[in-house]
């Protein structure tokens, strides 16, 4: 009989599956992922749900965004504005002093917290170099995203949610008095259908008067979002009469697949509780189960399954993902993210991988375009468009649509090793933070004349309304309102006598989610 194995006593039975082959069953255990059949060169990776959305050297984005013209025309350079960056590390590799000597960074960067872990790359320093190029007068801050709240693998109950560590960094920078925060970090296991700790921290920062910019992500359309279609206990990816229980993928040589399955239940670690339990399997091309993630959502764990599988072979691995319903509703909305692998399935529907704190209502999600191509978003830049379905306490709400807001340049130069050509939404986001600093400086200079407040909403509106439309005409889920134009944004700051009227008019145009 063709079947899927189970790996804990609670599930010590076989679920019949028409399309999948089982070579052997394993003893009961309760762990995140289990190696079933002979997996060859595939290895289960360590649990790591985090990912960065990757003077003498100046970013080409300074001219692409027209920030150089804005500075010279309006006499702004970010002076009086404090900008905090959240990324992996700042000076683990020891290049900060050289960056100061070469004029790529100021000598007074405030390092609130750094990270010395071996996997960090000083990407945060590259981001700060970009900001310093566009807004050289701004006071800069750094806080690591990864070494704050201790995190246990994908569990609920009393354990903190994995993106709590980012929330801690946000809160620390707000407490340090920054005006703007920008990050380039995603947590694969962060909630999709509910605002998790990091998204809530973004909203709280905005409420405290801090503007927030986040890299939208580098997963393109590598997701599958669809209503569950369960037959024989397994999701059918084929929308037609034929049955296809395998979602084909290819893991390139020496690459790591990170796949996340979530469904439309609230997180126990955030608020509420899952009422359904789905499991995620990796199989070979013939349907033999190799690895699985099957947490017990009916025992208070979060509605998420996570696989991290490294292909150590010099050739690509062709296999498939499968989704099994263990218990609860068969009508959930499923979201399957595939990162580090290529989706090759004919039933791929190119869904939006957008999620997490980048989708927080209080922040701005930043897509990327190459600095040398002003009209097209990078193919890997994450497509926006997801509905949040639950409030912070797990109560159902009317769907709240979240998507990408605006686009900045990438492929730019920094002096940091490994980021000499800095691609990704990680490079685009700091350009937005720097442009925001120029706008804020001019707004504060003018607003001080009559004591008129310039709010975070006012800042967002000016950036959106002055963006240059790219991709599809008008607003779209790839580029948002378009690519940022620093000159137009700074020029759009109204004179003090006009500030209130202009801003009120702009707010009426706000598309925001």
Count CB-CB contacts under 10 A for residue 293. Answer: 25
Q: Quickly tell me which residue has 């706000």 as its tokens.
A: 510
Tell me: pLDDT of 101 over 60. yes
Q: Do domains 50-219+356-507 and 222-343 have the same CATH topology?
A: no
* Predicted confidence band of residue 95 (pLDDT cuts 50, 70, 90): very high
- Percentage above 70 pLDDT, the chain: 82
Task: Report d(CA 283, CA 298) in Å as an integer.
Answer: 25
- The kind and range of the H/E element at 504 are helix 499-507
Structure tokens at 53: 């959305």
* Predicted confidence band of residue 275 (pLDDT cuts 50, 70, 90): very high
| Nearest by Cα to 258 from 306, 222, 292, 303 | 306
Tell me: pLDDT of 512 over 50. no
What pLDDT was estimated at residue 30?
A: 32
Residues 6+ apart with CB under 8 A from 455: 209, 503
What does residue 427 show for φ and ψ, rounded to 5 degrees? -85, -30
Q: What is the mean pLDDT of the chain?
A: 87
CATH class (in words) of the domain with range 222-343: mainly beta
Please state the rounded mean pLDDT for residues 19-23. Answer: 30
* Predicted confidence band of residue 158 (pLDDT cuts 50, 70, 90): very low
What pLDDT was estimated at residue 450?
A: 52
* Predicted confidence band of residue 317 (pLDDT cuts 50, 70, 90): very high
Q: Report the DSSP pairing between strands 185-187 and 139-144.
A: unpaired
pLDDT tens-place string over residues 457-511: 999 999 999 999 999 999 999 999 999 999 999 999 976 555 444 443 443 333 3
Side-chain half-sphere of 484: how many Cα atoms within 13 Å? 41
Residues 6+ apart with CB under 8 A from 17: 2, 3, 4, 232, 233, 234, 245, 322, 324
Please state the rounded mean pLDDT for residues 418-425. Answer: 96
Handedness of CA 480, 484, 489, 490 (dihedral sign): positive
What pLDDT was estimated at residue 429?
A: 98
| Nearest by Cα to 405 from 511, 508, 493 | 511
* Predicted confidence band of residue 44 (pLDDT cuts 50, 70, 90): confident
| Nearest by Cα to 138 from 76, 87, 186, 188 | 76
DSSP-H helix ranges across 106-224: 123-134, 164-175, 197-207
Please state the rounded mean pLDDT for residues 199-224. Answer: 97
What are the boundaries of each domain within the chain? 50-219+356-507, 222-343
The end-to-end CA distance of the chain, in Å, is 48
pLDDT tens-place string over residues 291-315: 999 999 999 899 999 999 999 999 9
Say which CATH superfamily domain 50-219+356-507 falls into: Peptidase S8/S53 domain (3.40.50.200)
């Amino acid at each position: 009989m063709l079947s899927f194995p189970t790996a804990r006593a609670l599930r010590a039975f076989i679920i019949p599956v028409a399309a999948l082959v089982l070579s052997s069953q394993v003893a009961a255990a309760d762990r995140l992922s289990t190696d079933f059949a002979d997996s060859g060169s595939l290895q289960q990776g360590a649990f790591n749900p985090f990912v960065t959305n990757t003077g003498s050297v100046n970013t080409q984005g300074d001219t692409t965004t027209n920030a150089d013209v804005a500075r010279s025309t309006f006499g702004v350079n970010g002076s009086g504005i404090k900008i905090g960056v959240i990324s992996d590390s700042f000076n683990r590799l020891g290049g900060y002093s050289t960056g100061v000597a070469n004029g790529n960074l100021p000598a007074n960067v405030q390092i609130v917290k750094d990270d010395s872990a071996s996997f960090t790359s000083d990407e945060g320093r590259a981001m700060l170099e970009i900001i310093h190029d566009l807004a050289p007068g701004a006071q800069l801050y750094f806080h690591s995203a990864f070494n704050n709240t201790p995190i246990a693998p994908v569990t609920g109950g009393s354990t903190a949610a994995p993106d709590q560590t980012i929330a801690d960094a946000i809160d620390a920078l707000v407490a340090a008095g920054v005006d703007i925060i920008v990050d380039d970090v995603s947590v694969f296991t962060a909630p999709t259908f509910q605002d998790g700790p990091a998204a809530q921290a973004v909203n709280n920062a905005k409420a405290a008067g801090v503007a927030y910019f986040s890299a939208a992500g580098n997963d393109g359309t590598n997701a599958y979002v669809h209503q569950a279609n369960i037959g024989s206990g397994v999701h059918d990816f084929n929308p037609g009469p034929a049955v296809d229980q395998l979602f084909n993928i290819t893991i390139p040589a020496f690459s790591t697949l990170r796949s996340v399955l979530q469904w439309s239940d609230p997180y126990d670690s955030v608020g509420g509780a899952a009422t359904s339990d789905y499991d995620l399997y990796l199989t070979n091309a013939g349907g033999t189960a190799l690895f699985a993630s099957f947490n017990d959502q009916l025992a208070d764990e979060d509605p998420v399954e996570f696989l991290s599988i490294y292909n150590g072979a010099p050739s690509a691995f062709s296999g498939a993902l499968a989704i099994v319903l263990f218990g609860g509703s068969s009508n959930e909305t499923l979201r399957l993210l595939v990162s580090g692998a290529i989706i090759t399935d004919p039933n791929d529907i190119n869904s939006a991988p957008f999620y997490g704190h980048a989708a927080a209502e209080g922040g701005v999600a930043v897509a990327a375009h190459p600095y040398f191509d002003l009209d097209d978003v990078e193919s890997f830049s994450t497509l926006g468009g997801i509905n949040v379905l639950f409030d912070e306490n797990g109560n159902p709400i009317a769907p709240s649509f979240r998507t990408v807001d605006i686009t900045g340049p990438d492929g730019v130069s920094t002096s940091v090793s490994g980021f000499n050509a800095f691609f990704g939404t990680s490079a685009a986001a700091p350009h937005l933070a720097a442009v925001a600093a120029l706008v804020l400086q001019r707004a504060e200079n003018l607003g001080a004349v009559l004591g008129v407040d310039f709010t975070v909403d006012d800042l967002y509106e000016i950036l959106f309304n002055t963006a240059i439309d790219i991709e599809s005409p008008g607003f779209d889920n790839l580029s948002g309102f378009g690519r940022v134009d620093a000159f137009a944004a700074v020029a759009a700051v109204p004179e003090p006598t006009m500030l209130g009227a202009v801003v009120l008019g702009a707010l009426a145009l706000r598309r925001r989610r």
